[in-house]
Amino acid sequence: MPIPHRLLLAAGLAAALSASAPCAAADAKRAPLTPDAERALAERPLVAERVRYPEYFARAYARYPDLPRGVLEALAYSETGWRNVEPAAADGGHGRHMPAAYGVMGLYHGEGFADQVTEGAKLLGLSPTLVMRDPETNILAAAALLDRASKANKARGEPYARSEDPSTMGAVLARYAGYGDGIGEIRTYARQSFAYAVLSTLDRGVDANGVKVPKRAVGMERAFTPTQLAKLRAPLLNVDAVRDEVRIPGATLAGDFGEALWVPAYSGNYSTAANAMTAVIMHTMEGSYAGSIAWFQNPNAVVSAHYLIRKSDGQITQMVREYHTAYHAKYHNNYTIGIEHDGYASDPSNWSAAMVNASARLTTSICARRGVNCASAWQGPGYDTWHVVPDSVRVKGHGMLTQNSNRYDPGKYFPWASYYSLINGGTNPNPNPGTKYWVDTFANATGYKWPSTLTPVGTLYQGTNYVYCKAWGERVGNATSYNHYWLKTDLDVGPAGSWVSAYYLSRWGNDEARDNNGTVIPNC
Ligand SMILES: [Zn+2]
């Protein structure tokens, strides 16, 4: 933006020539990619990998001909999104939320759940390592375990696999689920939920990014009882707008958020100690929705979260009351509400609109009911490393908390910017858009197109300048003097509506963004 003052301009040019001027570009480490472009790039090797899978599935059906065609593909999509999950590599040594799942079929290897890897290896006469590492063997092992579950059902007079009728797989998948030996009420919902996820995927079909699940009418009313189905399909039922409730016959509603089903966690996996409820923490399960529900009901877990959200349709299950303390964020448990999202932080395709919208409805409700400041929510980039943000940000990721250095969920693909917009009414939280806030800058500032991508586009000269609003983004500065905020402004050289780091403000502290009168510059 032009400063009509020759002295200021001269000072700016002098600063430009001096080596003492700080240089934001030196802090630029990220590739200049939009989040969408980054996601597309990350999908490429996955698409290449998926080309081989249809042949592996075909061989598994040839060996286990009773399994209905498409069930294995649907299971793989539901559990891992057709990704060869290698827990040690995928989380880079970071901690997990539940027992690890291996390979394209997401087989469990003990840790509190069944040891599907070892059992599958035994059925095939091959090594557990091969089942974990080799996609074709992993798929074969899952097929062998499904076949075994089917035979066990047949011996008990329960539905067993018949290739012409996928609805027979409801009971077979529930037995296969891998959530440990607990049979009966406590694990029933999780097992049914797993079977539903697989069969509803088959019923819809998938054809995207190299994933091919054939669309096949399942007959869900034969696979599940009417009461089970009503609960499993909950988000599709009527919403009572007047009472702000979803009514589900045969299901228990949670007390805190009308849309959520209530399935309590095992009593030892949370504390009835009071929760201050002043912040909301986003997680990814690093596993599946049904698996997480089973895990939070498992006495071995000693972990929990308040809410879990399903990727396929945004169904929400509450497992701990908001005013109780869930075990999800170490030293931050006593003031935070935890939301677990289906799937993996490393999966570029994880963030379905259904799940993001459901999560935003939930967080909006928490902010309104508990007084959490949704306007302070993180709106910068996502990260695939631990990255602490200020305490003043009250809606943020697990990997943005102190003392949680082994976490980075919900990961770099979580859509923070659109999430911010959703939980703030989808509108510009700046009450006076277009208002100019006058600030002094102590050196020439490099202008960027966005606060998150650091693509240089010009210069804002040192002196008195105006800015419109602020946003959180990449840190700029040195060891003692720094700022994460970015200011929207019109550059002296370069386009209007660009961004400069608030590091260049001459009179305020670290991570502060105020104008010359001390007024906090509003969020964009
Ligand atoms: Zn987490």
- pLDDT digits over 230-265, tens only? 788 765 433 333 333 334 444 455 568 877 888 889
Q: How far is the CA of 283 from the centre of ligand 1 (A)?
A: 4
* pLDDT tens column, 118-128: 999 999 999 99
316 Cβ contact list (under 8 Å, min separation 6): 235, 257, 259, 260, 261, 307, 308, 309, 310, 358, 362
Average pLDDT over residues 412-422: 94
Distance from the CA of 281 to the center of ligand 1, in angstroms? 8
Report the candidate in 367, 408, 424 with the shortest Cα–Cα distance to residue 282: 408
- Could you say which DSSP state residue 103 is in? B
CA of 397 relative to ligand 1 center, distance in Å: 8
* d(CA 339, ligand 1 centre) in Å: 9
Secondary structure class of 233 (helix, strand, coil): coil
Nearest by Cα to 420 from 462, 372, 336, 364: 364
Output the CA 259–ligand 1 centroid distance in Å. Answer: 23
SS3 for 319-362 is CCCCCCEECCCHHHHHHEEEEEECECCCCCCCCCHHHHHHHHHH
Ligand 1 centroid – CA 476 distance (Å): 27
Picking from 17-21, 335-339, 369-373, 392-396, which range would have the lowest pLDDT averaged per residue?
17-21
Arithmetic mean of pLDDT, 26-55 = 78
Cα–Cα distances (Å) from 81 to 114, 166, 174, 179, in that order, read 21, 20, 20, 19
What gap in Å lies between CA 4 and CA 1, rounded to an integer?
A: 10
**β-strands 395-397, 279-284 pairing:** parallel
Distance 318 CA to ligand 1 centre (A): 16
Residue 376 Cα, ligand 1 centroid: separation in angstroms? 20
Distance of CA 162 to the CA centre of its chain: 36
Tell me the mean pLDDT in the region 445-461: 79
Q: Ligand 1 centre from 386 Cα, in Å?
A: 11
* Residue 426 pLDDT class (50, 70, 90 cuts): low
Is residue 22 over pLDDT 60? no
Q: How far is the CA of 416 from the centre of ligand 1 (A)?
A: 16
Higher-pLDDT residue of 510, 440: 440
Q: Which run of H or E residues covers position 470?
A: strand 469-477
Averaged pLDDT of the chain: 84
| Ligand 1: centre distance to CA 502 (Å) | 30
Ligand 1 center to 340 CA (angstroms): 7
> Could you tell me the distance, in angstroms and rounded to a whole number, from the CA of residue 384 to the centre of ligand 1?
12
Report in angstroms the alpha-carbon separations of 367 from 95, 259, 272, 315, 377. Answer: 29, 16, 21, 20, 10
Question: Given a cut of 80, is residue 288 above it in pLDDT?
Answer: yes
Say how far apart CA 83 and CA 47 lie, in whole Å.
Answer: 9
Band (497; pLDDT cuts 50, 70, 90): confident
Residue type at position 498: S
On the question of pLDDT at 11 being above 80, the answer is: no
- For residue 469, the one-letter residue type is C
Burial class (CB in 10 A: 0-12, 13-18, 19+), 500: buried
Q: Residue 407 C-alpha to ligand 1 middle, in angstroms?
A: 7
Give 236: exposed, middle or buried? Use CB within 10 Å, 0-12, 13-18, 19+.
Answer: exposed
**The pTM is what?**
0.71
How many of the other CB atoms lie within 10 Å of CB of 122? 14
Compute, in angstroms, the gap from residue 353 CA to the centroid of ligand 1. 20
Contact between residue 234 and residue 248 where contact means Cβ atoms under 8 Å apart: yes
CA of 193 to the centre of ligand 1 (A): 22
Closest CA to 290 of 201, 395, 190: 190
> From the CA of 410, how far away is ligand 1's center (Å)?
7
Instruction: Tell me how far the alpha carbon of residue 494 lies from the centroid of ligand 1, in angstroms.
Output: 41
DSSP class per residue in 43-77: HHHHHHHHTTHHHHHHHHHHHSTTSPTTHHHHHHH
Q: How far is the CA of 145 from the centre of ligand 1 (A)?
A: 30
- How remote is the CA of residue 419 from the centroid of ligand 1, in Å? 18
**Ligand 1 centroid to residue 286 C-alpha, Å:** 8
pLDDT at 157 exceeding the cut of 60: yes
Cα(345) to ligand 1 centroid in Å equals 9
Q: At what angle do helices 169-176 and 135-155 cross, to 10 degrees?
A: 110
User: What is residue 63's predicted lDDT score, i.e. its pLDDT?
Assistant: 98
Segment 44-61, tens digit of pLDDT: 999 999 999 999 999 999
Q: How far is the CA of 338 from the centre of ligand 1 (A)?
A: 8
Ligand 1 midpoint to CA 97 (Å): 6
| Residue 54 alpha carbon to ligand 1 centre in Å | 33
- Cβ pair 162, 168 in contact under 8 A: yes
Q: How far is the CA of 504 from the centre of ligand 1 (A)?
A: 34
Q: What is the CA radius of gyration of the chain?
A: 26
Structure tokens at 177: 């689920």
Cβ atoms of 15 and 462 closer than 8 Å: yes
325-326 vs 445-448, strand pairing mode: unpaired
pLDDT at 520 over 90: no
The pLDDT value recorded for residue 243 is 39
Spacing, Cα 291 to ligand 1 middle (Å): 15
| Distance from the alpha carbon of residue 445 to the mean position of ligand 1, in angstroms | 37
What's the CA-to-centroid distance between 285 and ligand 1, angstroms? 7
**What's the gap in Å between 280 CA and the centre of ligand 1?**
12
